Amino acid sequence: MKTFHLYLSLIITVSIVGSLPILEKITLAKMNITQMIFYRSLSQTLILGVVVWFCGSSLSSGIPIKYTVYALLQGVAITIMLFFYFSAIKTTDVSFVYPLIAASPLITYILAIVVLNEPFNIIRLSGVILVIGGIILILHSK
């Protein structure tokens, strides 16, 4: 059951992440970047509020302040990232910009080894290198 949940989660995530840039590009044709970030954040806040309310979750369940700060910093980082991402897709083809974001696994892979002490794995590194090769091809297509 754990494997099914994993694959279902991945399929849903990839489907949303893969199709969302199209909707973002369409929306940004009539909305400025600040409005887009505001409405996205508002919808996320409302949905999470409903989930917390229905599930009876407590937002203050003895979590050390350090982890609350980490979560808040992630929100700041996402907001900054969205601003620059929306700026990029507003000015050029989303089919050019979005694949370039695929460079992020290289950063994630290196940080996971250095910060989280995850093991080095040549197969994973090979996958990251293949992604970087794809990015180079996309850069040369413009």
pLDDT of residue 60: 65
Instruction: Give me the amino acid identity at 36.
Output: M
pLDDT tens-digit series, residues 70-88: 989 999 999 999 999 999 9
Whole-prediction pTM: 0.77
For tokens 């050029």, what's the residue? 92
Instruction: Give me the amino acid identity at 102.
Output: A
For tokens 């996309």, what's the residue? 138
pLDDT, averaged across the chain: 89
Collect contacts of 133-138 with beta carbons under 8 A, ≥24 apart. 134/99, 134/102, 135/99, 135/100, 135/102, 135/103, 138/96, 138/99, 138/100
